[in-house]
Amino acid sequence: MAFTFFQPTRRVTVTQGDLPHWDQEGATYFITWRLADSIPASLWKQWMGERRAWLLRHRIDPARPDWKEQMDALPETARQDFRRFTRSLEHVLDSGHGACVLKQPPLAAIVAETLHFQAGSRYVLGDYVIMPNHVHLIVGGLARQTMLNQVRTWKRWSATQINQALKQRGRLWQDESFDHVVRHEASFQKLRQYIADNPKKAGLKPGEYLHHAWQGPQE
């Protein structure tokens, strides 16, 4: 299996209200999700408020289940501007807030095993890095809603296993994940490099993270 990128000739557009939104089978996504304790509550509240205000200014209601599809339909300049929210969030994550339980190799391995479980049959698993308090991942071969369901499955299964290993109960992952469509090869390679560089950028030592690099269609 190989990655495919956004193809305008295959675009399916559905109009709801004033903004169109779209989905495409077999798309490729860059996804981030984080541990529940990885960002201080006050900072998270401020970040969510600023992001909500930006979306409303662009006539997107973040309470709608299809708001990400509406984001995909915005012009490239707007999408690039919106990604500053993700970049600011990733800067906070790299600061190492919370218990950072994924710094423990056996717990990071649980996440990795979860990601690989159905790779090659249900989806194309690309590069990923499991940081002490968050995960970055490239995955392909899925429509957006299928991808979102898959992320929930990964989080639910890995949370169960990690909580058992830690002999604890309660929420492990933050509910919301962050994703955007990878639209072309250049962006794909840039994101692969971002994933590879993230541990060094965060000042991590070998053994404090788990990095996997996609080797090609044979995976």
CATH number at residue 176: 3.30.70
Report pLDDT for 66: 81
Tell me, yes or no, whether 219 lies in a domain: no
How many structural domains compose the chain?
1
110 found inside a domain: yes
Q: Is residue 39 part of a domain?
A: yes
- Please say whether the dihedral angle defined by the alpha carbons of residues 112, 178, 10 and 21, taken in this order, is positive or negative: positive
Helix (H) or strand (E) holding 78: helix 76-93
Q: What is the pTM of this model?
A: 0.84
For the chain, 219 residues long, give each residue's pLDDT as a single digit of tens: 678 886 655 544 443 444 344 456 788 999 999 999 999 888 889 988 999 999 999 999 989 888 877 887 888 899 889 988 888 888 888 988 999 999 999 999 999 999 999 999 999 999 999 999 999 999 999 988 899 999 999 999 999 999 999 999 999 999 889 888 898 899 999 999 999 999 999 999 999 999 999 987 755
Is 5 within the bounds of a domain? no
Q: Is residue 132 part of a domain?
A: yes
Q: State residue 123's pLDDT score.
A: 95
Contact 133, 100 (CB under 8 A): yes
Query: CB–CB of 105/210 below 8 Å?
Result: yes
Does residue 187 belong to any structural domain of this protein? yes
- Whether residue 154 contacts residue 115, with contact meaning beta carbons closer than 8 Å, is answered with yes
What contacts 162, CB < 8 A, 6 or more positions away? Answer: 101, 107, 110, 111, 172
pLDDT confidence of residue 21: 41
How many C-alpha atoms does 183 have within 13 Å on its Cβ side? 9
In a domain, 12, yes or no: no
Range of the domain at 103: 20-212
Q: What is the pLDDT of residue 67?
A: 85
In a domain, residue 14? The reply is no
